[in-house]
Amino acid sequence: MNTENAKSQMRKGMLEYCILLLLHKGPAYASDIIQQLKEAQLIVVEGTLYPLLTRMKNDRLLKYEWQESTQGPPRKYYALTLDGEEFLRHLDSAWNELTNTVNILHNGSEVVISKE
Amino acid sequence: MNTENAKSQMRKGMLEYCILLLLHKGPAYASDIIQQLKEAQLIVVEGTLYPLLTRMKNDRLLKYEWQESTQGPPRKYYALTLDGEEFLRHLDSAWNELTNTVNILHNGSEVVISKE
DNA sequence: TTTAGTACCTTGTATCGCAAGGTATATTTT
DNA sequence: AAAATATACCTTGCGATACAAGGTACTAAA
């Protein structure tokens, strides 16, 4: 049994949430997104990201604008739509439910999350 | 865009983790598992669970014993193997990484999780 | 004998992550 | 100017999984 596959499966659906979280802070283009996710310790490759962005755009969660670059081809800057913002709130709930589920299964005791 | 599908996708891979967490506390059979997951606010149906249990058994993460029931057909009680316990620890790490990623994307800071 | 309840299992579909490709534009090097 | 490099976008095919919608087998009650 393969740990990498398990981690990959865990990512399913999470990636959509993470991208919404990220774009909630401001527009970004694909390489931006990959870089920022990497900094948040989530490795994503192009073959995963591009179809996902296209799907989210078709579902009206995202919109984009072309922007010129000083070095290289133009970039597609993605941003959340109003639908995207609303959907993000739904996924926030879903995520909270999921963490709560894991905490209950883990030990049934409360877990305190504190920022540093 | 469909919230239910998104939640379903979020569950992918998580279910395996949740079942390992649950069986870590003691053996259970399928209906048991569904019931306990429901109490932890995770809805799972038979068509999802049975193939998953079979797969985890084939991967040597789980073993089972038949046990007579006083009312109805015999039950398959599943329990973790040593491999399953080890794999659970890997998934604990993966889960912690994932929660950390979401927290970073949420507010830009790492978090400390402390049990009470 | 029939019905209801419990438990186990299978098939087909939709979706997603990913590896491994490919295309197009701009800049630098030769 | 031509070739090479870098950057950015995109597609195809595959493997894995959740789920709906079926089905089978055993037991007990009506």
pLDDT at res. A20: 97
pLDDT band at B110 (very low <50, low <70, confident <90, very high): low
Chain B environment of A39 (Cβ under 8 Å): 104
pLDDT band at B95 (very low <50, low <70, confident <90, very high): very high
* Pick among B18, B97, B102 to test the A interface (most A CBs inside 10 A): B102
Q: Where are the beta strands (DSSP E) in B33-97?
A: 62-67, 75-80
CATH number of the domain located at residue range(s) A3-106 in this protein: 1.10.10.10
The reply to whether residue A104 touches residue B40, judged by beta carbons under 8 angstroms, is yes
Å: B83 CA to C9 C1' = 25
Helix (H, G, I), strand (E, B) or coil at B20: helix
Å: A71 CA to D2 C1' = 21
Judge: domain B3-107, CATH 1.10.10.10: yes
Chain A environment of B116 (Cβ under 8 Å): 109-112
d(CA A84, CA A86): 5
With a 7 Å cutoff on the CB, does A53 touch strand D? yes
Q: What is the 3-state secondary structure (H, E, C) of chain A?
A: CCHHHHHHHHHCCHHHHHHHHHHHCCCECHHHHHHHHHHCCCCCCHHHHHHHHHHHHHCCCEEEEEECCCCCCCEEEEEECHHHHHHHHHHHHHHHHHHHHHHHHHCCCCEEEEEC
pLDDT in tens, A29-65: 999 999 999 999 999 999 999 999 999 999 999 999 9
Domain map of chain A by residue range?
3-106
Q: Where are the beta strands (DSSP E) in B30-109?
A: 62-67, 75-80
